Amino acid sequence: MFNASTQELPRALQLMLARDQAPAPVAELPRRSFLKIGAASGFALGVFPLLSRAQGSSAALEGLKPTQLPGAFVAIATDGTVTVTVNRLEFGQGVQTALPMILAEELDADWTKVRSQLGTNNPAYADPLWGMHLTGGSTAIKHSFTQYRELGARARAMLVQAAATRWGVAAASLRTEKGVVIGAGGRRATYGELAEAAMALPVPERIALKDPKQFRLIGQPTTRLDAAAKSSGRQDFGVDVRRPGQLTAVIARPPVFGAKLRSVDDTAARAVKGVKAVLRVPLDRGAEGVAVIAEGYWPAKTARDALKLAWDIETMEKVDSARQLVQYRELARQTGAKHFDADMAPLANAPQKIEAEFVFPYLAHAPMEPLNCTVELGEQGATLWVGSQFPGVDGMAAAAVLGLKPEQVQVRVQAAGGGFGRRGIPNSDYVVEACAIARAAQAAGLRAPIRTLWSREDDIKGGYYRPMHLHRAQIGFDADGKVLAWDHVIVGQSIMAGTFFEGTTVKNGVDITTVEGMRAPYPMPMRLTVHHPKVNVPVLWWRSVGSTHTAFVMETLVDQIARETNQDPVAYRMKLFGEAHPRHRAALQLAVDRSGYGKKALPSGRAWGVAVHESFDSVVAYVVEASVKDGQPVLHQVTAGVHCNLVVNPRTVEAQVQGAALMGLGMCLLGAAITFKDGVVEQQNFGDYTVARITDMPAIAVHTVPSADPPTGMGEPGLPPLAPAFANAISRLTGKPLRELPFQMA
């Protein structure tokens, strides 16, 4: 069970699993048991427990747990092919390669014969630290690094012992290399030849992990195992699931969140060829909708468009973006729930002052693959095919809807075409809706697998956005840039309120996901208070969560103080870091050195921009070159300095930073906002909701700080500092600070 204090947790999702909120512990197995889980054409190995959270600890063994048994994770075929099961969702972050690399390193596998696959909601695939199935918070490598090393090491030890027994020699006299056990006199036995015998051996009580100096895979730039399939269009995602007799469902949703139906005329819809059923179904947050089930997406969508629906929206709160901004401004003038406290008396007489208001809109996740879930009901239970970040939570939610026990529901995790947080939702909204449709269809006599599919428009208008936020700051400082007092108010909806995470993530009325990234690493005397208004807009974390707005606020204000006190922005930050933040210093210095900042002359009309931010225990610094063309900002060059400790696969880190930077740039572009008029989302599709495209991508170079410390996360940290670095460059050109995302240049 996870028992770290809240101060140790990386942010957001990390804090949601305190001991009093943790799920029931996974059942333990006898120490010398083996777990055999579907190792097709291969074998299943048993393993003993992780030694401790700290790598290399000799802590007492606790008994075998499913998360520690290689039988669920590694299958070795007779031809030596090693298939590694990944305990996370793969949706672009590269875990389907990085985790097998870690296991294969300790196994001494032949990398050319390593394959990977995604897991299920089986207890074996829960996060080994949290005891919960989860992909989020940039924790996949961080939490499973030691786990996968030990899985590989123990499997290797058993293979070596099998060879030693066969040859009648001491195991210590043997070595392994690329899937082969090697003995004296040139004796060789492949892992495929030894697999069956290894399975019959006792599990070793102690095992040694490699010295990092011996790594031959970890740290090497490695092509992703799914690269060929994805680049050629052969990769299957959740949307591509096809079961025998499968039908497709689409849902007509209310125009205002939470509304119910007043009347339904489905005459024209039922007349569309291929339509099998039109069903009134319950939806998320108490709403109602109409599900059209047909032989394919197009007839289902065509029939949905033919529905004549009347909605009861009179009693619903109708959010209007203009009115909401006025309300948020009124709240920002008041002191809210206190998060940080400091003496504000020096503010009144400070030699220099800044007063600033920042506005950040709602943002849609907008992954390339819209939400989908395929449900197949059987005599003994149900199977779901879905790209889920929370397969355990989704499985339990599905069981509740279907009237089944949790163990009767299998969630088969599918590769997802993006997600950015939308596929990890505490109330499992899209999974629950898919299961409700499947159950209603069965009651109507349709016994077929049903794929519930969202359209792009459904996805943009369907809610669970990054919340809208407003910041108000009053800062007093002296001529040396020393901050004397910083009074700060944030207004924005709570993500965690009303979820089963609320008890551990909302403290003293403050949702910690709202304030993460504020103040640190700068030693500012800050009073920070927060208002969490209740608004009829469903909200959720969005890639890098609170840091999507707090990094922009902190890094643009710090830069402004440097400008107004005539200090170099890099030197000013280094002075603030002091000796207390060596990782920040190292990341920023690396970006500075590799960019040529302060040394090379920029083309006329260009300026440097700098920002550095820590999120999810990793630090990313950007030095950028930008200009203004025809009144609009242009980002030309980005140099990243990254400190994520030990890098498992440099290509994965590079790709994550590149993708996060582009997504961060997308926040700056005109049209990157979800807005409301009379309760209705005004945006429909990519035509009126801007996402960054390949044509917006600047030249980008990614550099990592060398480290042998255990790895930290990289799925999200590359996003937060991009927008402020870009804004700081533009402010140096125009002399005007940017206070709003997307950028407003007028």
Contact between 197 and 162 (Cβ < 8 Å)? yes
| Helical residues (DSSP H) of 333-415, grouped into ranges | 345-348, 391-402
Which CATH number among 1.10.260.40, 3.40.50.720, 3.30.365.10, 1.10.3720.10 corresponds to the domain 238-315+371-453? 3.30.365.10
In this prediction, residue 668 carries a pLDDT of 98
Contact between 713 and 540 (Cβ < 8 Å)? no
Label residue 701 exposed, middle or buried (CB < 10 Å: 0-12, 13-18, 19+).
middle
| Helical residues (DSSP H) of 596-649, grouped into ranges | none
In this prediction, residue 202 carries a pLDDT of 79
Contact between 472 and 354 (Cβ < 8 Å)? no
Tokens of 333: 């003038």
Q: Are strands 352-360 and 469-477 parallel, antiparallel or unpaired?
A: antiparallel
CATH architecture of 6-231: 2-Layer Sandwich (3.30)
In this prediction, residue 709 carries a pLDDT of 96
CATH architecture of 334-363+464-734: 2-Layer Sandwich (3.30)
Tokens of 299: 């007839």
Contact between 530 and 489 (Cβ < 8 Å)? yes
Q: Is the dihedral of CA 84, 645, 13, 591 positive or negative?
A: negative
- How many residues would you count in the chain? 746
Run of H or E including 736: none
DSSP string covering 291-324 = EEEESSHHHHHHHHHH-EEEEE-TTS----HHHH
Query: How open is the CA angle 327-331-334, to the nearest 5 degrees?
Result: 155
| Helical residues (DSSP H) of 202-296, grouped into ranges | 227-232, 267-270
Backbone angles phi, psi at 15, to 5 degrees: -85, -5
Q: What is the pLDDT of residues 74-120, one digit of tens each?
A: 999 999 999 999 999 999 999 999 999 999 999 999 999 999 999 99
In this prediction, residue 27 carries a pLDDT of 29
Domains 238-315+371-453 and 334-363+464-734 share a fold: yes
3-class SS at 668?
coil
Tokens of 618: 């990793």
Contact between 397 and 428 (Cβ < 8 Å)? yes
In this prediction, residue 16 carries a pLDDT of 37
> Which residue carries 């980002």 as its tokens?
635
Domains of the chain: which residue ranges?
6-231, 238-315+371-453, 334-363+464-734
Tokens of 575: 């002075």
DSSP string covering 149-198 = HHHHHHHHHHHHHHHHHHHTS-GGG-EEETTEEE-GGG-EEEHHHHHHHH
Which amino acid is present at 88? R
CA neighbor of 296 nearest in space, from 453, 76, 424, 96: 453
Enumerate residue ranges in the chain where pLDDT < 70.
Answer: 1-63, 205
The total of other beta-carbon atoms located within 10 Å of residue 445's CB is 8
Tokens of 633: 């900002």
Torsion of CA 556, 601, 574, 709, to 10 degrees: 100
What's the Rg (C-alpha) of the chain?
A: 27
Give per-residue burial for 524-544: e unless 16+ CB within 10 Å, then b.
bbbbbbbbbeebbbbbbbbbb
Contact between 704 and 647 (Cβ < 8 Å)? yes
CA neighbor of 586 nearest in space, from 620, 637, 551: 620
In this prediction, residue 205 carries a pLDDT of 66
Query: How open is the CA angle 615-616-617, to the nearest 5 degrees?
Result: 90
Run of H or E including 404: none
